[in-house]
């Protein structure tokens, strides 16, 4: 059986958006972020890890060559500082928009002691301090930085603007405040911390200091989340057709593949598209991994196509790894 297809409503897929310069290739795009000028920063697992494009897809510049062990997450603050999460290096680095390093959180190449032996979260024996395969970061309205940590830990870490650790919370499990791969993170305009608890297929909400509020469970392995200017929540869902851990079965033969879901500020589902029935088609997905919204409401979606299965023949290697959806007005 094939998963249900959710039609693209309210947006138009932009074909061949943001093509790399001649002779360059993505390999795969792990993360994306939009700055104050609506420029798109593309964080890819390639020889040119940070590529910058204008909102029409014209290449501007690149940086980060030779810097990262494995690009995983990218976030841009209100002052256009760029935060890059490198999971295999166990660090979160801050850069200027043109790539000058400002500071580093974590110790390069040295994971904290959680007993984890790989990026398989099932090998975690205990929680630890920052970081062990961190995944993403988010800023609060007050300027605190939250980091989801991640594959080799089961924690959320909160830092102040100076990079001092304030607190951490979380442990392996599926109860409130527990995680099986806290993969994505975002903070809404009210300072509520949202965590994409991927392998538990839910979003958890917390107060600024980590107290559990509630959860959304009508999603399928969420990888990352983003808010638009109206506090609508966009969720990049990996689904159950790719990137499955060894020995893990999909919950049903027709379980959904990759898709985007949109919830309003009251957590009501207001839009959804994709589903993975035709993962190479515009508007459908194989391995959604990150999502970003620009100031006009256009949506960008990054997919880890290669590592999620193209390297094993599950989908064509030329399947899209970056898509743009232009909002219809």
Calculate the alpha carbon distances from 314 to 67, 220, 311 in Å: 30, 19, 8
242, 228, 234, 216: which is closest to 303 by C-alpha? Answer: 242
User: Does any domain span residue 38?
Assistant: yes
Burial of 328 (0-12, 13-18, 19+ CB in 10 A): exposed
CA–CA separation, 12 vs 324, rounded Å? 8
Domain residue limits at 219:
11-327
294-324 pLDDT tens trace: 999 999 999 999 999 888 888 988 899 999 9
Give the model's pLDDT for residue 317.
84
223-276 pLDDT tens trace: 999 999 999 999 999 999 999 988 888 999 899 999 999 999 999 999 999 999
pTM of the model: 0.97
Domain count, the chain: 1
The stretch 282-292 carries a mean pLDDT of 97
Classify residue 91 as left (phi > 0), alpha (psi -120 to 50) or beta.
Answer: beta
Residue for token pair 């193209």: 310
Per-residue DSSP letters for 124-178? --S--SS-SSEEEEEE-TTS-EEEEE-SS--EEEEE-TTS-EEEEE--BSSSTT-
Residue 268 structure tokens: 């009501």
41-90 pLDDT tens trace: 999 999 999 999 999 999 999 999 999 999 999 999 999 999 999 999 99
Percent above pLDDT 70 for the chain: 99
User: Does any domain span residue 65?
Assistant: yes
Give the model's pLDDT for residue 2.
62
User: Does any domain span residue 247?
Assistant: yes
> Would you say 145 and 138 are in contact if contact means Cβ atoms under 8 Å apart?
yes
Confidence band, pLDDT 50/70/90 cuts, at residue 5: confident
Residue 58 structure tokens: 């014209």
User: Does any domain span residue 128?
Assistant: yes
User: Does any domain span residue 4?
Assistant: no
User: Does any domain span residue 3?
Assistant: no
105-143 pLDDT tens trace: 999 999 999 999 999 999 999 999 999 999 999 999 999
User: Does any domain span residue 75?
Assistant: yes
CA–CA separation, 78 vs 124, rounded Å? 35
Residue for token pair 């219809």: 328
CATH number of the domain to which 55 belongs: 2.120.10.30
Contacts for 22 with CB less than 8 Å, ≥ 6 apart: none
Q: Say yes or no to pLDDT of 1 above 80.
A: no
DSSP H stretches of helix in the chain? 305-308
Based on its alpha-carbon atoms, the radius of gyration of the chain, rounded to whole angstroms, reads 18
CA–CA separation, 147 vs 197, rounded Å? 13
User: Does any domain span residue 16?
Assistant: yes
């Amino acid at each position: 059986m094939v998963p249900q297809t959710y039609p693209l409503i309210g947006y138009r897929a932009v074909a061949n958006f943001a093509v790399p310069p001649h002779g360059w290739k993505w390999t795969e795009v792990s993360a994306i972020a939009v700055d104050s000028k609506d420029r798109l920063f593309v964080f890819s697992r390639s020889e040119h890890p940070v590529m910058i494009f204008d909102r029409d897809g014209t290449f501007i510049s690149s940086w980060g060559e030779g810097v990262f062990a494995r690009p995983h997450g990218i976030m841009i603050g209100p002052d256009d500082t760029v935060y890059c999460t490198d999971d295999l290096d166990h660090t979160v680095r801050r850069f200027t928009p043109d790539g000058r390093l400002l500071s580093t959180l974590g110790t390069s190449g040295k994971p904290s002691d959680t007993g984890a032996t790989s990026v398989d979260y099932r090998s975690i024996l205990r929680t630890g301090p920052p970081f062990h395969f961190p995944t993403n970061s988010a800023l609060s309205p007050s300027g605190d930085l939250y980091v989801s940590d991640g594959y080799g830990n089961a924690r959320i870490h909160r830092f102040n603007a100076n990079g001092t650790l304030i607190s951490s919370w979380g442990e392996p499990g599926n109860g409130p405040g527990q995680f099986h791969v806290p993969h994505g993170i975002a903070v809404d305009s009210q300072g509520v911390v949202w965590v994409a608890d991927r392998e538990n297929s839910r979003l958890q909400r917390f107060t600024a200091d980590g107290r559990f509020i509630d959860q959304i469970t009508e999603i399928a392995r969420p990888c990352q989340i983003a808010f638009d200017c109206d506090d609508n929540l966009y969720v990049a869902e990996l689904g159950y057709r790719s990137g499955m851990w060894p020995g893990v079965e999909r919950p049903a033969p027709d379980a959904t593949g990759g898709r985007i879901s949109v919830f309003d500020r009251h957590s009501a589902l207001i839009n959804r598209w994709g589903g993975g029935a035709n993962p190479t088609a515009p508007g459908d997905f194989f391995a959604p991994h990150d999502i970003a919204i620009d100031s006009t409401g256009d949506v960008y979606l990054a997919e880890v196509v290669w590592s999620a299965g193209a390297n094993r023949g599950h989908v064509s290697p030329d399947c899209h790894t970056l898509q743009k959806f232009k909002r219809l007005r």
